[in-house]
Amino acid sequence: MLAKVSELKRSAVRQQETSEAAAPRSRDVAVSLKHCSLSFGSVKVLNDVTLDIYKNEFVSILGPSGCGKSTLLRLMLELLKPDTGGEVTYASKKPSIGIVFQKPVLMPWLTAIQNVELTLNVGPNKRMPKKERREKAENALGLVGLQDFRNHYPHQLSGGMQQRISIARALAADPEILLMDEPFGALDELTREKLNFELLRLWEDPSNSLSTVVMVTHSIQESVIMSDRVVMMSPRPAGVEALVPVPLPRPREVGMEEHPAFYQTVKELRKREKEQ
Ligand SMILES: Nc1ncnc2c1ncn2[C@@H]1O[C@H](COP(=O)(O)OP(=O)(O)OP(=O)(O)O)[C@@H](O)[C@H]1O
Ligand SMILES: [Mg+2]
């Protein structure tokens, strides 16, 4: 019951936040990028990206292929450094970040369950008893519907199944921030929709730590059904072309594609995409 009440509260806060999404005011920033530019040799990829992403926010990133979306995520992960003058900061010194790369990165010599356990074998989770770690990994595999494939090796799984293992691995460690690079791109429509909503339920659930999600996607519809705000990137060198709030109520449900706000937001994003 308590959990239910806090869930409702959290959902109410999110609804309020959603309506303020166009001009967020005194909200807690989870990740902040300030004047981030980045070049690979003579190729300028990112151009002066300034973007605040808030706690309890679900943000999607859209943009043309090759514009720099994956590069932006790698910047957030601090795998890359912005050019001089740029800055990436986090609210806490050591936030726990889960990452799903565009291509599944699995260890070929480990089974599905062992691949998921990888994130539990480092950091604070390492101190957890082995049995508990196994349980967490099993739960995460269940979330992506692959519990029956726990003992399969990556080469015995399809590309979409491998990506689902990557998602399970990112979720198993109960991160505060989840960065995902086209996580559902390789999936059929039904599985994709199922996982979209599984992820939303997980993010809404106050009993786990997940607070902020940043998801790169090529699907306008997916970005709208999932997010509070959509970041539209311009072609390379990419900057933030537009920040589009999604005024759909939470929790998001199957069938909300019929909602006028869904249709309006999709229309606006399509228009902006065409104008690029
Ligand atoms: N390590 C690298 N070295 C040199 N150039 C790179 C490197 N990584 C990315 N690039 C270049 O940066 C640009 C942006 O690449 P990025 O992968 O970020 O695009 P993207 O928006 O994620 O594209 P897609 O939608 O196709 O995944 C491309 O021109 C790419 O060739
Ligand atoms: Mg990419």
Neighbours of ion ligand 2 (CB under 5 A): 70, 102
Q: Across-strand partners of 243?
A: 231
Reduced to 3 states, what is the DSSP secondary structure of residue 207? coil
Task: Yes or no: say if 238 and 68 are a contact pair by the CB < 8 Å rule.
Answer: yes
The answer to whether the CB of 175 is under 6 A from ligand 1 is no
**DSSP at 57:** -
Domain range list for the chain: 2-17+28-275
Q: Report the separation in Å between the CA atom of 113 and the middle of ligand 2, taken as the mean of its atom positions.
A: 26
Phi-psi region at 123: left, alpha or beta (left = phi > 0; alpha = psi -120 to 50): left
Q: Report the separation in Å between the CA atom of 68 and the middle of ligand 1, taken as the mean of its atom positions.
A: 5
Ligand closest to CA 218: 1
73-115: pLDDT as tens digits: 999 999 999 999 999 999 887 889 999 999 999 999 999 999 9
Question: What token pair was written down for 222?
Answer: 């997916």
37-80: pLDDT as tens digits: 999 999 999 999 999 999 999 999 999 999 999 999 999 999 99
Give the number of other Cβ atoms within 10 Å of residue 217's Cβ.
23
CATH number of 2-17+28-275: 3.40.50.300
| 204-216 burial code (b ≥16 CB/10 A, e <16) | bebeeebbbbbbb
Of 21 and 192, which is predicted with more confidence?
192
- CB contact set of 97 (below 8 Å; sequence gap of 6+): 77, 175, 176, 177, 178, 179
Residue with CA at minimum distance from ligand 1 atom 14: 68
